[in-house]
Amino acid sequence: MANFHRLPVARGRPVRFTFEGAPVDSFAGETLATALLAAQVGAFGHTREGNPRLPFCNMGTCFDCAVQVDGRGLVRACLTDVVEGMVVNMQEIK
């Protein structure tokens, strides 16, 4: 019979940012994708057809996690660390 042991989880300091105007609590060292998924955000954006977009590859190749940060261009949430006070919004489909 296997012996299972819980590994300790070392979290960074608490970090708060906003997504679509709502506060999201996370921890330093987490990516935006990790924090948004942990907060049970239902969509990072929408397809042209209106379907929700969520991270697919979680390693930066698919761009399904692209979000707008601090009013600038799109970033991949799976490659971007959370920063205190950042303002994150869904990408706008034009």
Range of the domain at 33: 14-90
How many folded domains does the chain comprise?
1
Q: What is the pLDDT of residues 32-50, one digit of tens each?
A: 999 999 999 999 999 989 9
In a domain, 32, yes or no: yes
CATH of the domain at 81: 3.10.20.440
Alpha-carbon distance of 77 to 2, in angstroms, equals 37
Q: List the one residue out of 35, 30, 28, 34 whose CA is nearest residue 13.
A: 28
pLDDT tens digits along 61-89: 999 999 999 999 899 999 999 999 999 99
For residue 81, being part of any structural domain is answered with yes
What is the model's pTM? 0.87
